[in-house]
Amino acid sequence: MPLKIYNTLTRQKEVFRPLHGNRVYMFVCGPTLYDYSHLGHAKTYLNFDVIARYLRYKGYSLFYLMNITDVEDRIINRAKETNKDPVKLAKDLELPFHQDMKALGMNSVNLYARASEHIPEIIDQIKRLFEKDYAYETKTGVYYNLAKFQDFGKLSHQKLDEVKKHRIDPDPTKKNPQDFALWKKKTSGPLWNSPWGKGRPGWHIEDTAISELYLGEQYDIHGGGLDLLFPHHESEIVQMESLSEKKPMVTHWLHTGLLMVSGERMGKSMGNFVTIVDVLKDYDPEVLRYYFASTHYRSPIEYTPKSLEQAKESLETLYTALDNLGELKTTEGKRLDEDEKKLKNELAEMKKRFLAAMDDDFNTPLAISHLFNMATSINKFAAANKALTGKTRQEVVETFKELGGVLGILQKEQRAFEAESAKELIELLVELREQFRKRKDFEASDRIRSRLRELGIVLEDTPKGVQRKRQILG
Ligand SMILES: [Zn+2]
CA 236 to ligand 1 center in whole angstroms: 8
Model pLDDT, residue 425:
81
Using an 8 Å Cβ cutoff, are 178 and 164 in contact? Answer: yes
Q: How far is the centre of ligand 1, averaged over its atoms, from the C-alpha of 107 (Å)?
A: 19
At 457 the pLDDT is 80
Distance 151 CA to ligand 1 centre (A): 20
3-class SS of residue 234: helix
| Cα–Cα distance for residue pair 231/288, rounded to 1 Å | 30
In the prediction, which pLDDT does 473 show?
Answer: 55
**Spacing, Cα 204 to ligand 1 middle (Å):** 7
Spacing, Cα 233 to ligand 1 middle (Å): 7
Q: How far, in Å, from the CA of 67 to the mean position of ligand 1?
A: 7
Contact 158, 176 (CB under 8 A): no
Percentage of residues in the chain having pLDDT higher than 90: 73
pLDDT at 416 over 50: no
Would the pLDDT of 165 be above 80?
A: no
Ligand 1 centroid to 329 CA: how many Å?
54
Query: If you measure from the C-alpha of residue 133 to the centroid of ligand 1, how many angstroms do you get, rounded to a whole number?
Result: 24
pLDDT for 336 equals 78
- Dihedral (C-alpha) 126, 131, 136, 139: value to the nearest 10 degrees? 70
User: Can the peptide bond before residue 231 be classed as cis, meaning omega within 30 degrees of 0?
Assistant: yes
Q: What's the pLDDT score for residue 319? A: 94
The proportion of the chain whose per-residue pLDDT surpasses 70, expressed as a percent, equals 96
Q: What is the pLDDT of residue 362?
A: 98
- Give the per-residue pLDDT at 170: 76
Cα-to-centroid distance, 9 and ligand 1 (Å)? 16
Q: 49 C-alpha vs ligand 1 centroid, how far in Å?
A: 17
- Closest-CA residue to 39 (of 233, 397, 217, 302): 302
Of 27, 34, 124, the C-alpha closest to 71 is: 34
C-alpha 293 to ligand 1 mean position (Å): 23
Average pLDDT over residues 60-69: 97
For the chain, the 3-state helix, strand and coil shares in percent, each to the nearest 5, are 50, 20, 35
**d(CA 251, ligand 1 centre) in Å:** 17
pLDDT tens profile 357-388: 999 999 999 999 999 999 999 999 999 988 89
Q: How far is the CA of 37 from the centre of ligand 1 (A)?
A: 16
With contact defined as beta carbons under 8 Å apart, do 217 and 236 qualify?
no
Evaluate whether 254 touches 22 at the Cβ level (below 8 Å): no
Cα gap 339→389, rounded to integer Å: 11
Average pLDDT, the chain: 92
Whether residue 168 is predicted with pLDDT greater than 70 in this model: the reply is no
- How far apart CA 63 and CA 29 sit, in angstroms, is 14
Look at residues 357, 392, 389 and name the one whose alpha carbon lies nearest to residue 373: 357
Phi, psi at 443, each rounded to 5°: -60, -50
Average pLDDT over residues 258-285: 89
Indicate if the alpha-carbon torsion angle 464, 466, 472, 473 is positive or negative. positive
d(CA 50, CA 254): 13
Cα of 207 to ligand 1 centre, how many Å? 5
CA of residue 301 to ligand 1 center, whole Å = 22
- Report CA(202)–ligand 1 centroid distance (Å): 11
- The pLDDT of residue 111 is 98
Q: What pLDDT, on a 0 to 100 scale, did the predictor assign at position 332?
A: 76
- Cα separation values, 152 from 7, 146, 163, 203, 432, Å: 17, 8, 11, 18, 74
Looking at residue 417, its pLDDT comes to: 44
CA 30 to ligand 1 center in whole angstroms:
7
For residue 122, report the distance from its CA to the centre of ligand 1, in Å: 14
Cα 232 to averaged position of ligand 1 atoms, centre (Å): 7
Instruction: Decide if pLDDT at 434 tops 60.
Output: yes
- pLDDT score, position 268: 74
- Compute, in angstroms, the gap from residue 279 CA to the centroid of ligand 1: 26
Amino acid in position 28:
V
- Residue 10 DSSP SS3: coil
The three-class DSSP label of residue 145 is coil
pLDDT tens sequence across 93-144: 999 999 999 999 999 999 999 999 999 999 999 999 999 999 999 999 999 9
Using DSSP bridges, classify how beta strands 219-225 and 250-256 pair: parallel, antiparallel or unpaired: parallel
Global pTM reads 0.88
Ramachandran assignment for 196, one of left (phi > 0), alpha (psi -120 to 50 degrees), beta (any other): alpha
Query: How far away, in angstroms, is 295 Cα from ligand 1 center?
Result: 24
Spacing, Cα 29 to ligand 1 middle (Å): 4
Q: What distance in Å separates the CA atoms of residue 18 and residue 219, rounded to the nearest whole number?
A: 8
Ligand 1 center to residue 209 CA distance, Å? Answer: 11
Calculate mean pLDDT across residues 264-283: 88
| 283 alpha carbon – ligand 1 mean position (Å) | 29
CA 71–ligand 1 middle distance (angstroms) = 12
CA of 32 to the centre of ligand 1 (A): 9
d(CA 66, CA 113): 6
